[in-house]
Amino acid sequence: MARHLITSALPYINGIKHLGNLVGSQLPADLYARYLRARGHEVMFICATDEHGTPAELAAAKTGEPVAEYCARMHGEQAELARGFGLSFDHYGRSSSPRNHVLTQHLAGKLAENGFIREVSEKQVYSNADGRFLPDRYIEGTCPNCGYDKARGDQCENCTKQLDPTDLIDPRSAISGSTDLEVRETKHLYLRQSALKGEIAAWIDSKTDWPILTTSIAKKWLNDGDGLQDRGITRDLSWGVPVKRGTEDWPGMEGKVFYVWFDAPIEYIAATAEWADANGRGEADWRSWWRTDEGADDVTYTQFMGKDNVPFHTLSFPATMIGSGEPWKMVDYIKSFNYLTYDGGQFSTSQGRGVFMDHALEILPADYWRWWLLSHAPESGDSEFTWENFQQSVNKDLADVLGNFVSRITKFCRSKFGEVIPEGGEWGEVEQQLIADLNTRIAAYDAAMARTDVRKSAHELRAIWVLGNEYLQAAAPWSTFKTDPEKAAMQVRLGLNLIRMYAVLSQPFIPFAADSMLSAMQTDLRDWPQDAGAALTALPAGHAFTVPEVLFAKISDESREEWAERFKGVRA
């Protein structure tokens, strides 16, 4: 049994996330965590809401709530939606937690102690209309790189170029919309990433198994232009982690907080400590996941994130960890994803365009969405959600292949043998060939899951379902029963055992349907099939079962059209 630490990028607190956010980090991370647990490994799966910075303040201002109350409410809503989608976090924390405050201040102190923080007097945009300095995300304007007119002061969402607020063309306040801006002098702390470039580059070069998407983004930021730049890690805000040097005040930094991108990744560690606190565990328990001098040397750490998060997780967060001089566990593998687009355009909260997590669960159970999103994960390039493709995938994969198999075999058995697994008959050549084919496919599925090849895993799982349908069609127990009831009994017994095996294999993708299948088979046997032949004898003759409700209902053309109209939003 191995130990696996898994983190998915922290979702911002400012509202309900759309399906693209979900498939870009949390959902594939859950797939991997569920798979590893099913294979008998020890897993620590961590996520949290990212609660500091401009998005939280702006969102709270719109609702009229104090920012702390807004964040507490939205954390509850996001946690509930995560449960609704079956995301199996060991802990879903908050970056505003006391644990993260202490740990962020501790690491900042260590970085300063080691000479990796410098104080910089810089010019920053000040809004006369708002009466305050405007940190990066409070400023909007036109990107000088691609011309996108809604670029933020820290990064352009369109081309992902990292920006400074003063880079923007025609800047305006994101608070008031005022263009009455001026540049004033203020003092901030900078992380000396440039001084750590050699160590970071060597670390990245050592990761020869990373996805091309991850390494290409990391090396582009590391080497393009002037190379790795020092990064400001403080802001003139009131909501956030107060700037301290460990437990001591930091002269000249009064009233400032750490930049959200500095404290947010540290919450991975802090959330693990929160898990220990919540479960009555000691300090040694969480530190064994994160400190290589306290047991984490045997941990494999995997991160999941969208491509826009890659630069901070391959450069800035590693710079913090390396620069601290402490033996923190570094990530072993970063699984990054491209974007999911919506019906020829982008998801848009402001335009009400696309499907968001809350609305998705209102119209269909989570497994419908989980299957489509994972089987169309944007791994090698962007993926597009269309209602036609969604309908086709649900109807053909889930309803016609898996659901139909479960329904046909259970209903036939009930009609001829009752709700009990029948005895009689021995496997023949057809069954032996099925077992051989299953073993081949399960091995391929296992390998794809182990290397986090999400779409390939879905392809192999569907192929495993298809084998059962092909066997059922060829064996035709409804015809065999007329001349050889014992042989038909054997075929049915094998088919019912296939349902249990399908439940175990499918659980990482469709956990709710998997539980329904196991419940119908009246078993909680969840052992991963090392050999299909042995797995198909797990439920013996005489074992009772029930015919389950329809696992997956087909999506009608009328429903598809209704939803397409409902979620089309206002096109720009």
Count, residues in the chain: 572
Q: How confident is the model at residue 478 (pLDDT cuts 50, 70, 90)?
A: very high
CA-CA distance, 348 to 107, in Å (whole number)?
36
CATH topology of domain 386-535: Isoleucyl-tRNA Synthetase; Domain 1 (1.10.730)
The residue written with tokens 């947010």 in the block is 264
Q: Determine if residue 349 is labeled as part of a ligand binding site.
A: yes
Angle at 485 (CA atoms; ends 468, 476), nearest 5 degrees = 30
Mean pLDDT of the chain: 95
By the 8 A CB rule, do 336 and 213 touch?
yes
Is 161 a residue whose pLDDT tops 90? no
Of the candidates 272, 261, 244, the one whose C-alpha atom is nearest the C-alpha of residue 44 is 272
The residue written with tokens 């045997």 in the block is 298
Q: What predicted TM-score, i.e. pTM, was given to this entire model?
A: 0.93
User: In Å, how far from its chain's centre is CA 416?
Assistant: 45
CA-CA distance, 42 to 33, in Å (whole number)?
9
The residue written with tokens 């960890």 in the block is 321
Mean of the pLDDT values across residues 510-537? 97
Domain ranges of the chain: 386-535
Q: How confident is the model at residue 136 (pLDDT cuts 50, 70, 90)?
A: confident
Residue-wise pLDDT for 2-14, tens only, equals 999 999 999 999 9
Is 570 a residue whose pLDDT tops 60? no
Residue type, 80: E
The token pair that represents 536 in the structure block: 């198909």
Q: Determine if residue 247 is labeled as part of a ligand binding site.
A: no
By the 8 A CB rule, do 117 and 151 touch?
no
Is 387 a residue whose pLDDT tops 80? yes
Q: Tell me, letter by letter, the H, E, C secondary structure of 70-103.
A: HHHHHHHHHHHHHHHCCCCCCEEEECCCHHHHHH
**Beta-sheet strands, E only, within 357-433:** 383-385
Is 1 a residue whose pLDDT tops 90? no
